Amino acid sequence: MRVQKTVSLTTDTMMIAKRIEVMYHSGFSGWLRAILRQYDEDHDPIRASIYTDSILRALKNHDNCKQVLEEAGEIRKQATLEAFE
């Protein structure tokens, strides 16, 4: 069952929402549902970003950084928002 919920956006955030709509098959609503599910599972996107950034900074100090980042990019390409729905 789906329940209608309206979100008020500013001009700036509407432009961001339009970019999200183009990038993801499930559009802005699907993206927002995925974020809400992550939140419900105690996933904090800010902490995740800090964690990821710290890993990337640490990797830059190692010889195989490029290989690791390329592999991570390939893994990301395989992920879809539908996996979160």
Residue 27's region, left for phi above 0, alpha for psi from -120 to 50, else beta, is left
Is the Cβ–Cβ distance between 55 and 45 less than 8 Å? no
Dihedral sign (CA 24, 17, 30, 38): positive
- Distance, in Å, from the CA atom of 71 to the CA atom of 64, rounded to the nearest integer, reads 11
pLDDT tens, 23-60?
Answer: 988 899 999 998 889 888 888 887 888 888 888 877 77
- What pLDDT is stored for residue 81 in this prediction? 56
Inform me whether the pLDDT recorded for 4 exceeds 80.
yes
Instruction: Compare 83 and 77 and report the one with higher pLDDT.
Output: 77
